[in-house]
Structure 1
Amino acid sequence: MRENHGKKGIIYAENLVKALLCAYLVTGMFLLILALLLYKAGLSEENVNLGIILIYVIGTFSGGFVMGKLEGQKKFLWGLGTGVLYFVLLLLISFGMYREVSSGTGDLFLTFVLCIGGGMLGGMVS
């Protein structure tokens, strides 16, 4: 019985890595598009911030969607978990680059809510 549970854990971890990889690939692709728009169209800071928020939601949605498809049950929970891990990795990467959390607590909480909401929505839609 334990061997079967161990294999399930490995499969869950593999699926989670696939979903997070998808989420970060989508995020990277859209960030490149946003950078191109910033360069060509000279977007304002408000538009760039709105774009980044939208990109977080789209990225976590895609990760939650993939995770929901791979797991097949309790999809919204798997999507929520994907959103949480996406946010944690985003926070760790940001902290690793800047050695501090650059945004305020309110912005950080909003980003967290958007990440878990996007992941959960992606899992539910899958």
Structure 2
Amino acid sequence: MDKKAGKETKILWVLKALLLSYVVTGALLLLLALLLYRLQLDEQAVSAGIVAVYIVATLIGGMAAGKMAKSRRFLWGLVTGALYFVLLILITLGVYRTLDGSGIHMVTTFVLCAGGGMIGGMIS
């Protein structure tokens, strides 16, 4: 019974950290849209901004997961970043019904998300 409660708690930690990551993502994308509107940013700057949003959001989510876990923080941050990527892919599939990016782009995005979460967990 005690192990079941522990697993539920860990799942809740990860879900809370993911929710925080997506709230941060929404806020940062809103800021990026405002900057795009005001400063007439080019495509390269917007792409760099989106990558920065991925990294910052997973870093914050990893920090939250690490703070809640208190042990194996890097692992919980990594799990949070990987789940962020999976949810990102599922949302993309739901909206566009296809994955247009190349394999290299997908792997790079996964590494950024998982790495950001892991680093966040490590510094928490």
How high is the TM-score relative to the length of structure 2?
Answer: 0.99
Give the AA of the match of 1:50: A
Cα RMSD (Å) of the superposition?
Answer: 0.5
Aligned equivalent of 1:65: 63
Structure 1 residues 43-82: aligned runs within 5 Å: 43-82=41-80
Q: Unaligned regions of 5+ residues in structure 2, if any? A: none
Give the AA of the match of 1:107: H
Shift of 1:50: 0.3
SS in 1 for 2:55: helix
Q: Unaligned regions of 5+ residues in structure 1, if any? A: none
Match of 1:103 among 101, 107, 120: 101
1:42 aligns with 2:43: no
Alpha-carbon displacement from aligned partner over 1:11-43 (angstroms, at most 9, x marks no partner): 011111100000001111000000000011100
Shift of 1:68: 0.1
Rounded to whole Å, the distance in 2 between the matches of 1:79 and 1:102 is 28
Rounded to whole Å, the distance in 2 between the matches of 1:30 and 1:48 is 12
Identity, % of aligned positions: 47
Rounded to whole Å, the distance in 2 between the matches of 1:42 and 1:76 is 38
1:14 aligns with 2:12: yes
Alpha-carbon displacement from aligned partner over 1:79-109 (angstroms, at most 9, x marks no partner): 0000000000000000110000121111111
Give the AA of the match of 1:25: V
Alpha-carbon displacement from aligned partner over 1:28-67 (angstroms, at most 9, x marks no partner): 1000000000011100000000000010000000000000
Aligned equivalent of 2:117: 119
Give the AA of the match of 1:115: C
Which runs of at least 4 in structure 1 moved beyond 2 Å after TM superposition?
none
